[in-house]
Amino acid sequence: MSATTSGRAAVETGAARVHGALARFSGPGELLRAAEEVRDAGYREFDCHSPFPIHGMDAAMGEKRSRLSWFVAACALFGFAGAVALQTWTSVDALPVVVAGKPFFSHVAFFPITFALTVLCSVVGAVVGLTFFIRQQYTHPVFHSDSFSASGSDDGFFISVLAVDGMFDREATAAFLREIGGTNVELLEET
């Protein structure tokens, strides 16, 4: 669950480079409510971190529905059409030989190749589309936080607001996160 973009730049504020602010919440309900408040406050470059998926978090963060399913469906349709076209061309035009009395266009004989190519194109499309649509990042500033590292994947519920957000301000964002119920609010500074 991410409302962040691929440009990960720290913001120079004072002596230290600040990557964002991080706040811990007591449970999934509080995290869901806090995500709605962060979204309603106008922040766009924020992320919610939870040890398990929380139903409704995408809507709470203001995430749009992914286009990945449409991309995979288009790849599957391409694989299906390509398999049928290739087999039809080879059976009817390129090498029109009647084998065992089957017709030139035999949809039953075409099924295994059509199915395999449809699945293959879907899988390749899913991998390529996923890489393209989610703008994969390999590191995140929260991984340098001691409180996140200690419980981020176990029992911690966190919101991080990145410094690249136009509304980010060191003191104001930290105060806002405390105001909506965040505890252990810290600035993610370069180490």
Q: Has residue 5 been placed in a domain?
A: no
Averaged confidence pLDDT in the chain: 84
Q: Crossing angle of helices 68-88/107-134, nearest 10°? A: 150
**pLDDT tens-digit readout, 71-120:** 999 999 999 999 999 999 988 888 877 777 777 777 788 899 999 999 99
Specify whether 108 is located in the same domain as 18.
Answer: no
Q: What is the pTM of this model?
A: 0.66
Q: Report pLDDT for 152.
A: 61
Specify whether 88 is located in the same domain as 172.
Answer: no
Q: Has residue 121 been placed in a domain?
A: yes
Q: pLDDT tier at 175 (50, 70, 90 boundaries)?
A: very high
Q: Report pLDDT for 132.
A: 85
Q: Report pLDDT for 114.
A: 95
Of 4-13, 60-69, 122-131, highest mean pLDDT: 122-131
* Domain extent for 112: 68-134
**pLDDT tens-digit readout, 141-171:** 787 788 887 766 678 899 999 888 888 988 9
Specify whether 56 is located in the same domain as 73.
Answer: no
Count of structural domains within the chain: 2
Specify whether 120 is located in the same domain as 154.
Answer: no
Q: Report pLDDT for 11.
A: 53
Position 7 pLDDT exceeds 50:
no
Q: pLDDT over 90 for what percent of the chain?
A: 42
Specify whether 119 is located in the same domain as 79.
Answer: yes
Q: Report pLDDT for 146.
A: 80
**pLDDT tens-digit readout, 22-59:** 999 999 999 999 999 999 999 998 989 899 989 999 88
Specify whether 57 is located in the same domain as 147.
Answer: yes
Specify whether 101 is located in the same domain as 115.
Answer: yes
Specify whether 167 is located in the same domain as 123.
Answer: no
For 81-110, give one letter per residue: b (16+ CB within 10 A) or e: eebbeebbeebeeeeeeeeeeeeeeeeeeb
Chosen domain end from 134, 156, 177: 134
Specify whether 80 is located in the same domain as 48.
Answer: no
Q: What is the dihedral of CA 113, 119, 124, 125, to 10 degrees?
A: 120
Q: Has residue 4 been placed in a domain?
A: no
Specify whether 108 is located in the same domain as 165.
Answer: no
Q: Report pLDDT for 5.
A: 40
For 9-26, give one letter per residue: b (16+ CB within 10 A) or e: ebeeeeeeebbbbbbbbe
Q: Has residue 3 been placed in a domain?
A: no
